[in-house]
Amino acid sequence: MECIFCQIVKKNIPAEIFYEDDKIIAFSDIRPIALIHILIIPKTHIKSVTDISEDDTLLMGKLIFTAKIIAERNDIAKKGYKLLFRVGKEGGQEVQHIHLHLLGGKAPK
Ligand code: 5GP
Ligand code: ZN
């Protein structure tokens, strides 16, 4: 079966979308662990931080920049928030499509 996040990119699976451009999409996590829990992903399928190449560095920077914009729009920029990449098995990564967690609004775990 195709990657679940690629299916969200293609709008085959619904999600609450917070941001979208030609390269990036951000949507609510289905099982939030903070009041604000948004996943920011590249539209292109990259498995993990382990798989990024030097050609992806601008795209990875855009993920972080998008997190900053979303934090401002959701009024948590001043209060602070957490950005998290889980990487691989021991990093606890469950979905094999790279994603940046934006956690805020309440002390995230
Ligand atoms: P990971 O553990 O890989 O860093 O995080 C994967 C995240 O994806 C989890 O927090 C999980 O709740 C979320 N997730 C898994 N499947 C779906 C889905 O179908 N839709 C959405 N919106 N989030 C999902
Ligand atoms: Zn994918």
Q: What is the pLDDT of residues 13-37, one digit of tens each?
A: 999 999 999 999 999 999 999 999 9
SS3 83: strand
Please tell me which residue in 37, 97, 99, 101 is annotated as part of the active site.
Answer: 99
Percentage of the chain modeled with pLDDT above 70: 96
pLDDT at 99 over 60: yes
Per-domain boundaries in the chain: 4-104
Told to judge if 99 belongs to the known catalytic residues of this protein, a careful annotator would answer yes
- The CATH code that applies to domain 4-104 is 3.30.428.10
Integer Cα distance of 22 and 47 in angstroms: 19
Pocket mutation for ligand 1, best pick of 29, 40, 102, 109 (most atoms within 8 Å of C-beta)? 29
Q: What is the pLDDT of residues 58-93, one digit of tens each?
A: 999 999 999 999 999 999 999 999 999 999 999 999
pLDDT at 108 over 60: no
Closest ligand, as measured to the CA of 39: 1
Q: Within 20-80, where are the H helices?
A: 57-73
